[in-house]
């Protein structure tokens, strides 16, 4: 757009547009998949139709560019994040005026990106694959905690552990192949593209899951497009929303096929509770451990490592992802010649990776008494959390140290951070102070809001802040704190209850 406007200005002034501008402006290509755009629009129109702010702009016409115009102010994307994971963003922190200035628009986009990162979206080199059909929402239940019936896909405890470490897309493929095998389908589905083009896998899957709607006409159809159309007709009988066309199936659109299979799973997974009780005890974690796992998982993924972490306690056991994280924080500390890259079948290779991780930790003066690589391989949750906490804390302090060039190499301590926060609030004319990071008065959220306001006075709307006296008021303030901090560009991985407690 800038180059185009600049070119017009040159022409208006009587000058000639340079060959560079001609070459640059003529090589831009907006490769938009119209089928995917239509599916996104259908999703938005369906889930946000009753939204008080957006109802004046919906429904969106998929044949126009209204989707992109509506997304410019960032409000739509923030709303979609809350559709995917309700409560992620405190909507009081979203700027929802009809006309936003550049600062307010930037606030919304920053809030959106940081919140997307917090729920597990990839925001580095964003592509359509990261936004498809509210991906997080569709795949959120594809784990043993949310859907314990998935244990039916495996035979023993060792396979349960493997299932725990699988990405949601892999679990979905495993589920699909489980039913296809029972239905007598001979092929193995390994992707959501070429393996689904002919529609045969869909036909067998739906016949197995919904025998009351099964028909041989779907399998007997010779033309793939005709078969794909019959597949969609069967799916509609299961209340699966039609976000793709027969053409999308035949052409093998991976994003839309993933969304479609996930829809089928949500409406009819075909699993029983027969083995759920057997493995239920394996899945019980205390709330504190689960929250810590979530925090470290989002932090690790935010660093941009090659390996995506789905479950901290399972994915770190081979040691490789830990080496990647350490290398991101302290480049050059990992001896990659001695590292073993997944898949690692030999246990001693995993121990070698984890031993190197522990050795690096000791070199950084971490407290690792009686901790060895075997403890990580064995999945010792307490020791894994203890190591990750020290790594996370050290990286944060290192960041502060690098920013404070005037510190002349002086190591920044917790006391320095505490004093900075108290002084910042005091200079802003506020009265709140905190004695330590365990100060019970922090649960009201007032101090954190005053600190955020001291950093950027415009960011906190005090008319939306409660006194923080009741549990409900504390929760409202805590949720608002997280959204406001993300609005400022902070990577926040806390939950409201972490602030309250």
Q: Report the share of the chain in percent with pLDDT over 70.
A: 79
What is the Cα gyration radius of the chain? 26
Which pLDDT score, from 0 to 100, does residue 136 have? 44
Residues in the chain: 501
Is 46 within the bounds of a domain?
yes
Domain count, the chain: 4
Is 10 within the bounds of a domain?
no
Which pLDDT score, from 0 to 100, does residue 165 have? 64
Q: Report the share of the chain in percent with pLDDT over 90.
A: 2
User: What is the token pair recorded at 375?
Assistant: 């403890």
Which pLDDT score, from 0 to 100, does residue 28 have? 38
Q: How many CB atoms lie within 10 A of CB 176?
A: 23
The number of angstroms, rounded, from the C-alpha of 354 to the middle of its chain's C-alpha atoms is 26
Residue 317 shares a structural domain with residue 258 = no
Burial of 458 (0-12, 13-18, 19+ CB in 10 A): exposed
Residue 389 shares a structural domain with residue 345 = yes
C-alpha to C-alpha distance for 94 and 81, rounded to whole angstroms: 12
**Whether 44 contacts 67, CB under 8 Å:** yes
Domain boundary among 97, 118, 139: 118
Residue 386 shares a structural domain with residue 290 = yes
Residue 272 shares a structural domain with residue 298 = no
* Better pLDDT: 279 or 203: 203
Domain boundary among 382, 403, 424: 403
* Better pLDDT: 279 or 431: 431
Q: Is the pLDDT of residue 96 over 50?
A: yes
Is 348 within the bounds of a domain?
yes
Q: Tell me the residue range of the domain where 460 lies.
A: 414-499
Domain boundary among 347, 376, 403: 403
- pLDDT one-digit tens code per residue, 7-56: 666 565 554 443 333 333 333 344 566 777 787 888 888 888 888 888 88
User: Cα 428–439–294 angle (5° rounding)?
Assistant: 100
What is the 3-class SS of 186-211, one letter each residue?
CCCCCCCCHHHCCCHHHHHHHHHHCH
Q: Is the pLDDT of residue 453 over 80?
A: yes
C-alpha to C-alpha distance for 206 and 216, rounded to whole angstroms: 11
Is 12 within the bounds of a domain?
no
Residue 346 shares a structural domain with residue 256 = no
| Stretch 88-95: mean pLDDT | 87
Residue 262 shares a structural domain with residue 330 = no
DSSP code string of 40-98: HHHHHHHHSTT-TTGGGT-S--TTSSHHHHHHTTSHHHHHHHHHHSTTSS-GGGS---S
- pLDDT one-digit tens code per residue, 288-344: 567 778 778 878 877 777 777 877 888 888 889 899 988 888 888 889 888 888 877
Is 3 within the bounds of a domain?
no
Q: pLDDT-based confidence at 422, cuts 50/70/90?
A: very high
Residue 162 shares a structural domain with residue 272 = yes
Angle at which helices 446-455 and 471-487 cross, to 10°: 20
- pLDDT one-digit tens code per residue, 156-210: 655 666 666 677 788 888 888 988 888 888 888 888 888 888 888 888 888 888 8
Residue 266 shares a structural domain with residue 290 = no
Is 124 within the bounds of a domain?
no
User: What is the token pair recorded at 139?
Assistant: 């795949």
Residue 77 shares a structural domain with residue 171 = no
Angle at which helices 102-118 and 287-302 cross, to 10°: 120
C-alpha to C-alpha distance for 207 and 213, rounded to whole angstroms: 7
State phi, psi for 429 to the nearest 5 degrees: 85, 15
Averaged pLDDT score across all residues of the chain: 78
Q: What stretches of 268-380 show up as alpha helix (H) in DSSP?
A: 276-280, 287-302, 312-315, 320-329, 347-363, 373-377
Question: What contacts 296, CB < 8 A, 6 or more positions away?
Answer: 312, 385, 388, 389, 392, 493
User: What is the token pair recorded at 360?
Assistant: 């690096």
Is 26 within the bounds of a domain?
no
Q: Is the pLDDT of residue 123 over 80?
A: no
**Whether 433 contacts 447, CB under 8 Å:** yes
Is 270 within the bounds of a domain?
yes
Burial of 274 (0-12, 13-18, 19+ CB in 10 A): exposed
Residue 275 shares a structural domain with residue 293 = no
C-alpha to C-alpha distance for 360 and 340, rounded to whole angstroms: 16
Residue 396 shares a structural domain with residue 427 = no
Q: How many CB atoms lie within 10 A of CB 39?
A: 25
Q: pLDDT-based confidence at 122, cuts 50/70/90?
A: low
Q: Is the pLDDT of residue 131 over 60?
A: no
Residue 386: give its domain's CATH number.
Answer: 1.10.418.10
Residue 163 shares a structural domain with residue 256 = yes
């Amino acid at each position: 757009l800038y180059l185009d406007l600049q070119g017009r200005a040159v022409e208006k002034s009587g000058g000639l547009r340079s060959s560079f501008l001609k070459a640059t402006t003529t090589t831009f290509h907006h490769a938009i998949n119209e089928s995917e755009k239509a599916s996104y629009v259908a999703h938005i129109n369906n889930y946000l139709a009753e939204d008080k702010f957006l109802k004046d702009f919906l429904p969106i016409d998929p044949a126009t560019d209204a989707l992109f115009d509506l997304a410019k102010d960032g409000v739509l994307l923030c709303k979609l994040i809350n559709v995917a994971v309700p409560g992620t963003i405190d909507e009081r922190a979203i700027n929802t005026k009809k006309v936003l200035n550049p600062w307010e628009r930037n606030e919304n986009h920053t809030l959106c990106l940081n919140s997307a990162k917090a729920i597990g979206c990839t925001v580095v080199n964003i592509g359509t694959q990261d936004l498809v059909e509210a991906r997080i929402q569709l795949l959120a239940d594809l784990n043993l905690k949310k859907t314990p019936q998935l244990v039916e896909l495996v035979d023993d405890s060792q396979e349960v552990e493997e299932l725990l470490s699988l990405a949601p897309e892999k679990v979905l493929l495993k589920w699909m192949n489980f039913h296809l095998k029972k239905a007598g389908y001979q092929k193995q589905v390994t992707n959501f593209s070429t393996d689904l083009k002919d529609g045969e896998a869909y036909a067998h899957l739906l016949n197995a899951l919904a025998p009351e709607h099964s028909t041989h006409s779907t399998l007997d159809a010779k033309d793939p497009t005709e078969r794909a159309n019959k597949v969609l007709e069967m799916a509609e009988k299961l209340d699966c929303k039609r976000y793709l066309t027969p053409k999308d199936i035949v052409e093998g659109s991976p994003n839309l096929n993933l969304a479609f299979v996930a829809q089928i799973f949500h409406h009819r997974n075909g699993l029983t509770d027969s083995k759920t009780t057997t493995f239920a005890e394996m899945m019980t974690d205390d709330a504190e451990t689960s929250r810590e796992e979530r925090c470290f998982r989002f932090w690790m993924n935010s660093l941009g490592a090659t390996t995506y972490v789905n479950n901290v306690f399972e994915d770190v056991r081979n040691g490789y992802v830990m080496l990647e994280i350490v290398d991101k924080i302290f480049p050059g500390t990992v001896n990659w010649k001695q590292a073993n890259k997944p898949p690692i079948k030999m246990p001693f290779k995993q121990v070698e990776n984890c031993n190197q991780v522990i050795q690096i930790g000791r070199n950084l003066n971490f407290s690792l008494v009686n901790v060895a690589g075997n403890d990580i391989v064995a999945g010792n949750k307490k020791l894994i959390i203890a190591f990750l906490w020290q790594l996370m804390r050290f990286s944060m302090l290192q960041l502060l140290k690098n920013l404070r060039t005037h510190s002349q190499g002086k190591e920044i301590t917790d006391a320095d951070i505490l004093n900075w926060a108290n002084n910042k609030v005091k200079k802003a004319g506020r009265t709140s102070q905190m004695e330590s990071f365990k100060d019970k008065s922090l649960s009201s959220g007032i101090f954190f809001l005053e600190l955020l306001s001291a950093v950027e006075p415009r960011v906190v709307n005090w008319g939306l802040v409660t006194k923080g006296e009741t549990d409900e008021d504390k929760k409202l303030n805590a949720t608002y704190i997280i959204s406001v901090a993300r609005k400022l560009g902070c990577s926040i991985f806390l939950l409201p209850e972490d602030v309250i407690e």
